[in-house]
């Protein structure tokens, strides 16, 4: 979320039951991770309006497969592939 005004007055991230993670990136930019974007974005705009913060831009990004894997396992997908060992009986020599 990008803000026109009011973010300086917040001095902290937004808090609500639908917000998973919130981080102030710059003085006019906040990164907010929510449970369900289609229902959370309208709630988020209501919350900022109540706080007197004027929003100039909202962008939405779906998580990548790797981001979901890290969230679920705590590991990179690449790390898991490095640990994977192919059993000898499946290796065919020509």
pLDDT at 7: 63
Residue ranges with strand state E in the chain? 2-5, 19-26, 29-34, 54-57
pLDDT digit string, tens, across residues 58-73: 998 888 888 888 888 8
Its pTM stands at 0.62
Q: What is the DSSP string of 60-76?
A: --PPPHHHHHHHHHSS-
* Cα 63 → chain centroid: 7
Element (H, E) at 29: strand 29-34
């Amino acid at each position: 979320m990008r803000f026109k005004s009011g973010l300086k007055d917040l001095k902290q991230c937004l808090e609500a039951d639908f917000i998973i993670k919130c981080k102030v990136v710059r003085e006019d930019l906040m990164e907010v991770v929510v449970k369900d974007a289609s229902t959370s974005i309208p709630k988020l705009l209501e919350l900022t309006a109540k706080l007197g913060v004027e929003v100039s831009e909202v962008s939405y990004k779906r998580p990548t497969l790797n981001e979901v894997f890290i969230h679920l396992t705590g590991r990179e997908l690449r790390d898991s592939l490095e640990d994977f060992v192919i059993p000898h009986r499946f290796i065919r020599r020509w």
